[in-house]
């Protein structure tokens, strides 16, 4: 079973203004003259971490990691204005042009899978291939599955759901995303932070197949607030996508090499979405693995590293 590549540091980090409001943080790692790949992080709003550099062979890849609007080290932190899927897709293209990269492999997991598909479909001539993990297609039924009382996730993680649900008065529980948004957008900071901690307390510790149901986040409250607000902002608008848009747009990328890696027991982004994508895109390879949602769970990491190695072999030949 393959494991992640050893930890590496960026050889370049920079800030790139993409409009009059937003400036993105961008990292480059690996080999400057290597095979270009863009890493698209999840959330929305989660940002990038050193682990994200390790899915790619640094001796063969030029790894570009983009911190999306409002996330991590991009500024303004937590900003929701001019923050939609269309803006993020345009930002990816702005970064590509700025770096002088003609085409690149597009890699994304969870929300990053949504963005990878949206970008590749908008700019198929700029993609050399697509690798997605933990597929989320931005559909209302996917949001209901995990965040609403009529979804299925609450039946799998009842302990955590009870805490998520308890934050909202019973009269408002038929529309949990809307109820949380009302609190996340409150004028009172304490109200916003409490809602953010409850929101991410439900999500963050449901990511892996094996986890402590009583685990409590130690993240900075303001970091938690920014991520929760960005997530709820996107979820309440169904990712700013028309229903089924990413499935209908598959013809635009059907010619590209595609790999779909999906945890069989992913509760956050259930396997049905990956299956629907694979049915619409039979030319892509679907690999169902015995894991949950986390990208670094052993079976998922193994499949992703094998996928990036295989793509590099296809482009440049096997490594020595």
Is 266 a catalytic site residue? yes
pLDDT at 74: 97
Q: Rounded to an integer, what distance in angstroms lies between the CA atom of residue 236 and that of residue 232?
A: 6
pLDDT tens across 155-170, in order?
999 999 999 999 999 9
Q: Let me know if 204 is a catalytic residue.
A: no
Question: Which of 110, 113, 273, 291 is labelled catalytic?
Answer: 110
Q: Do residues 209 and 263 lie in contact, with contact meaning Cβ atoms separated by under 8 Å?
A: yes
- pLDDT at position 150 over 70: yes
User: Hey, CA dihedral for 149, 153, 155, 158, is it positive or negative?
Assistant: negative
What number of H helices and E strands is found in the chain?
Answer: 10, 8
Active site residue 293: yes
Decide if pLDDT at 320 tops 60.
Answer: no
Q: Parallel, antiparallel, or unpaired for β 12-17 and 35-40?
A: unpaired
Sorted by where each starts, the structural domains of the chain and their CATH numbers stand as 12-138+241-316 (3.40.50.1820), 141-238 (no CATH)
Q: What are the CA-CA distances from residue 294 to residues 1, 65, 77 (Å)?
A: 17, 18, 25
Q: How far is CA 263 from the centre of its chain?
A: 14
With both helix axes pointing from N to C terminus, report the angle between 140-147 and 176-184 in degrees, rounded to the nearest 10. 80
Per-residue pLDDT at 270 = 96
Q: What local confidence, expressed as pLDDT, does residue 77 receive?
A: 96
Catalytic residue among 223, 266, 302, 309: 266
Nearest to 293 by CA among 204, 215, 200: 204
Tokens linked to 94: 């702005």
Q: What is the pLDDT of residue 17?
A: 98
**pLDDT tens digits, one per residue of 249-308:** 999 999 999 999 999 999 999 999 999 999 999 999 999 999 999 999 999 999 999 999
- Binned at pLDDT 50, 70 and 90, residue 57 comes out as very high
Q: Which of 41, 74, 293, 309 is catalytic?
A: 293
Q: Mean pLDDT over residues 157-186, rounded? A: 96
Structure tokens at 10: 């960026």
* Chain Cα centroid distance, residue 129: 17
Task: Dump pLDDT digits (tens) for 190-235.
Answer: 999 999 999 999 988 788 877 777 777 777 898 999 999 999 999 9
Closest C-alpha among 45, 48, 41, 33 to residue 101: 33
Give the residue among 31, 37, 34, 29 at the shortest CA–CA distance from 10: 29
HSE, side-chain direction, 13 A CA sphere, residue 263: 26
- pTM of whole model > 0.85? yes
Quote the CA–CA distance of 92 and 81 in Å, as a whole number: 18
Residue 129 near residue 136, CB atoms below 8 Å: no
């Amino acid at each position: 079973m393959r494991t992640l590549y050893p930890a590496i540091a960026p050889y370049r980090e920079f800030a790139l203004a993409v409009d009059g409001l937003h400036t993105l943080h961008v990292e480059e790692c690996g080999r400057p003259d290597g095979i270009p790949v863009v890493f698209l992080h999840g959330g929305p709003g989660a940002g990038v971490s050193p682990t994200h550099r390790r899915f790619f062979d640094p001796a063969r890849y030029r790894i570009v990691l983009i911190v999306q609007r409002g996330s991590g080290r991009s500024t303004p932190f937590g900003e929701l204005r001019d923050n939609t899927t269309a803006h993020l897709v345009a930002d990816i293209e702005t970064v590509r042009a700025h770096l002088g990269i003609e085409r690149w492999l597009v890699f994304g997991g969870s929300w990053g899978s949504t963005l990878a598909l949206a970008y590749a479909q908008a700019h198929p001539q700029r993609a050399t291939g697509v690798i997605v993990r933990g597929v989320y297609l931005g559909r209302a039924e996917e949001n209901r599955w995990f965040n609403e009382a009529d979804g299925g996730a609450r039946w799998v993680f009842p302990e955590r759901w009870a805490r998520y649900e308890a934050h909202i008065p019973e009269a408002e529980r038929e529309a949990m995303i809307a109820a949380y948004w009302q609190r996340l957008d409150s004028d009172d900071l304490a109200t916003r932070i409490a809602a953010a901690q409850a929101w991410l307390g439900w999500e963050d510790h449901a990511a892996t197949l094996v986890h402590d149901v009583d685990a409590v986040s130690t993240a900075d409250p303001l970091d938690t607030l920014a991520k929760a607000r960005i997530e709820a902002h996107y979820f309440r608008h169904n990712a700013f996508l028309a229903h089924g848009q990413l499935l209908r747009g598959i013809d635009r990328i059907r010619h590209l090499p595609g790999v779909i890696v999906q945890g069989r027991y992913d509760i956050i982004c259930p396997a049905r979405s990956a299956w629907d994508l694979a049915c619409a895109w039979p030319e892509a390879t679907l690999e169902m693995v015995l894991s949950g949602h986390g990208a670094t769970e052993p079976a998922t990491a193994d499949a992703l590293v094998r996928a990036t190695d295989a793509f590099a072999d296809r482009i440049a030949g096997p490594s020595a």
